[in-house]
Amino acid sequence: MKAATDVLAAVELLAGQYPEADTELHYANPFELLVATILSAQATDAGVNRVTPALFAKYPDARALAAAPREDVEALVHPTGFFRQKTRALMGMAQALVDSHAGEVPRTMEALVKLPGVGRKTANVVLGHALGVPGLPVDRHVLRVSNRLGIANSEDPERVEQQLTGALPPGLWTRASDTLILHGRRVCKTEPLCDQCAAAALCDFRRRAVRPAPAKKIRSRSRGPSGRKATKKRGVRKRS
Ligand code: SF4
């Protein structure tokens, strides 16, 4: 894995390529971002942005959502998929906010991950974007890009989060995640478009891909003590 200085250099090169990098979810406050992020599991951000205006208009805070008729929430979030599971998570999360946090979104990882439907990735999204607390969400794009670059070396999101946050200053964590996500969506896809990548010169995957194939060894026939080419002795077949 790369040294911290190279991790920072690679992230800064990519940050220069995507000055607009930010979450693509629409929200006006931490509660709305928490709801939108829960809905974004197995759904596109654009798909989530299509359903949240109606949801937020009807249920603008934790108290309203916790008291909502379940079938109504299910119908509103239905287009994002897994609507029953997501409704259960949303309403459970809203009830927990009411019960334990006076209806407000807590500002710590420890408290956020205790909420129904909230894992480290969702918590980091909300901390970093809506609460001004450094957080580095690791999704499948961050995993793929950081492993290819060689700025992380694990398929475990929590381990990659530790590796990246250990190498980058906290003020860059959320931006680094947004940048790697955008790069994974646009350029470093399953089939990467390396000629469009600002960090190609630092990328381990790229280096391995363009390394010239080792030259074929020309096998010389061994020579005997006399300097003559040794000839293979053939066994004499007995005639039967
Ligand atoms: S050089 Fe290619 S594989 Fe490496 S990060 Fe850039 S796009 Fe991805």
Which residues are identified as catalytic? Answer: 121, 139
Which residue is closest in CA terms to ligand 1's atom 2? 194
The minimum-distance atom of ligand 1 relative to the CA of 10 is 5
Which residue is closest in CA terms to ligand 1's atom 5? 149
State the average pLDDT for the chain: 91
The pLDDT of residue 141 is above 80: yes
Using DSSP, state whether 223 is helix, strand or coil.
strand
Report how far ligand 1's centroid is from the alpha carbon of 201 (Å).
9
The minimum-distance atom of ligand 1 relative to the CA of 187 is 7
The sign of the torsion formed by the CA atoms of 223, 225, 226, 232 equals negative
- To test ligand 1's pocket by mutation, which of 141, 145, 186 has the most ligand atoms within 8 angstroms of CB? 145
Burial 78-92 (b: 16+ CB within 10 A, else e): eebeebeebbbbbbe
| Banded pLDDT at 236 (limits 50, 70, 90) | very low
**For residues 236 and 168, what is the distance between their CA atoms, to the nearest angstrom?**
73
Report how far ligand 1's centroid is from the alpha carbon of 15 (Å).
14
Which pLDDT value is given to residue 210?
A: 81
Burial tier of 14 (Cβ tally within 10 Å: 0-12, 13-18, 19+): buried
pLDDT higher for 1 or 38?
Answer: 38
40 CA to centre of own chain:
13
| Ligand 1 contact via 145 beta carbon (within 6 Å) | yes
| Banded pLDDT at 212 (limits 50, 70, 90) | low
The minimum-distance atom of ligand 1 relative to the CA of 209 is 3
Taking the CA atoms of residue 82, residue 85, residue 90 and residue 96 in that order, the dihedral angle to the nearest 10 degrees is -160
Report how far ligand 1's centroid is from the alpha carbon of 191 (Å).
10
**For residues 55 and 47, what is the distance between their CA atoms, to the nearest angstrom?**
13
From residue 15, give the alpha-carbon distance in Å to each of 38, 71, 122, 178. Answer: 26, 43, 22, 9
Which pLDDT value is given to residue 1?
A: 86
Summarised one tens digit per residue, pLDDT across range 20-44 is 999 999 999 999 999 999 999 999 9
| Ligand 1 contact via 150 beta carbon (within 6 Å) | no
Summarised one tens digit per residue, pLDDT across range 97-124 is 999 999 999 999 999 999 999 999 999 9
Report how far ligand 1's centroid is from the alpha carbon of 142 (Å).
12
| Banded pLDDT at 217 (limits 50, 70, 90) | low
| Ligand 1 contact via 10 beta carbon (within 6 Å) | no
Structural domains of the chain, ranges and CATH numbers in brackets: 4-21+137-207 (1.10.1670.10), 30-130 (1.10.340.30)
Summarised one tens digit per residue, pLDDT across range 53-72 is 999 999 999 999 999 999 99
Which pLDDT value is given to residue 218?
A: 55
Report how far ligand 1's centroid is from the alpha carbon of 36 (Å).
30
Paired with 221 in beta bridges are none
The pLDDT of residue 187 is above 80: yes
